[in-house]
Amino acid sequence: MRHQKFEAGRNPPFFRPPKYTGITLSLLSIFVLVSMLAVWEKMAHVPSVPTLQILAWDRCELPLEKVRKIYQTEARCIVTVQYEAQQKIMERIKQTDEWDILIIPDSQELAETLHNGQWSNRGVIAYSKSSLPPSIFNQESNRSTPLFGFLKTSHKESAPAHSFLRYLQAPTKGQVEFALEGWTGVSEDHWDQSPKLKIYSTQESKSWIDSIAQDFAKREGLELTISFMEKESLEASVQLLIQANNKNYFPDLVGLPLALITPKWMSTHYNKFESNLKEPKPNISFYIYKQSPLIRTCNRFLDHLTKNK
């Protein structure tokens, strides 16, 4: 095969490199630098992913691992769980406090170890089929063992931990996985990553409700909207919402002057909260919206409110 002889000047090259002047090179350099700064600025504003460190009972590993993997994807949170036997958990708690959440079974030693106020009991997650000796938390029955969730009280940013515990207790979330593994579930509110609690109350109640409500919302990881109005304006507002029947705007809780029964105009949409405490009650009655997604949260708040009045 014969190849054509290349002669400079006669046969032009297949590729001719571009000729850049000094000004062109300077402009290209500036363009590259600006592009790099723009990318860096966007990277600098990417929000950090929340992380949770959990110490848990090894007997709940199977359902908890399933929930952990689903939750990380759904809530965009990194959850790391260390599983230990019950006795080992008690030893680790005494040695260090590196965890955000404790998921541990009921025991007498548990009550003695966590009585110092550093941990807040967030209630039962599920009931195990295993039977353990009675304790301060579970004195009535030995047929099943309650699995408790405890939250570190000293952490300033506790919303991710609250969210995960609510997820474990939610009927269509964590409770499904626990039930599939033979655990007995609990009855709690449906899960929302940022639940919103809306309260209407009389102007006279502001002095003692406001601060307690704000403290409760922070403790529970809730977004709180609370409005104080004169009695006439409050009743008119609620009546207007009932007539419009717009479920998205109903307050979860309504506080009105003390009454023995629910007013007729409210009875179709609200139930009166009845406290079992024998302490003197404030001169106000609370009503819970029947279709509120936070009915059990409302009950916890009102119990907390009555105890702290």
Does the global pTM surpass 0.85?
A: no
Find out whether 55 and 89 touch, Cβ atoms under 8 Å: yes
pLDDT tens track, the chain, 309 positions: 555 555 555 556 555 666 656 666 666 777 777 777 766 666 545 567 889 999 999 999 999 999 999 999 999 999 999 999 988 988 888 887 789 999 999 887 777 777 667 888 888 999 987 655 555 455 544 558 899 999 887 766 678 898 999 999 999 999 999 999 999 999 999 999 889 999 999 999 998 899 999 988 887 888 999 999 999 999 999 999 999 888 889 999 999 998 888 889 999 999 999 875 445 456 889 999 999 999 999 998 998 887 776
Q: Residue 73 sits in a domain of what CATH number?
A: 3.40.190.10
CA 197 to chain centre: 13
Q: What is the dihedral of CA 190, 192, 222, 81, to 10 degrees?
A: 90
Residue 37 inside a domain? The answer is: no
How confident is the model at residue 171, as a pLDDT? 94
Find out whether 109 and 92 touch, Cβ atoms under 8 Å: no
Do residues 119 and 220 share a domain?
no
How confident is the model at residue 141, as a pLDDT? 47
Q: Among residues 82, 85, 120, which one has the least CA distance to residue 105?
A: 85
Count structural domains, the chain.
Answer: 2
Residue 271 inside a domain? The answer is: yes
Question: pLDDT for 209-248, tens place per residue?
Answer: 999 999 888 878 889 999 999 999 999 999 999 998 888 8
Of 180, 205, 235, the position where a domain reaches its end is 180
Residue 205 inside a domain? The answer is: yes
Pairing status of strand 51-57 against strand 78-84: parallel
Residue 25 inside a domain? The answer is: no
Alpha-carbon distances, residue 46 vs 39, 49, 52 (angstroms): 11, 9, 19
Do residues 157 and 226 share a domain?
no
Domain that holds residue 235: 196-307
Mean pLDDT value across the chain: 83
Paired tokens of 78 = 């990194």
Residue 29 inside a domain? The answer is: no
Do residues 126 and 94 share a domain?
yes
Do residues 96 and 206 share a domain?
no
Do residues 136 and 252 share a domain?
no
Do residues 99 and 159 share a domain?
yes
Residue 10 inside a domain? The answer is: no
Do residues 56 and 172 share a domain?
yes
Residue 201 inside a domain? The answer is: yes
Q: Among residues 128, 122, 82, which one has the least CA distance to residue 105?
A: 128
Cα(103)–Cα(113) distance, rounded to whole angstroms?
14
How confident is the model at residue 280, as a pLDDT? 45
How confident is the model at residue 64, as a pLDDT? 97
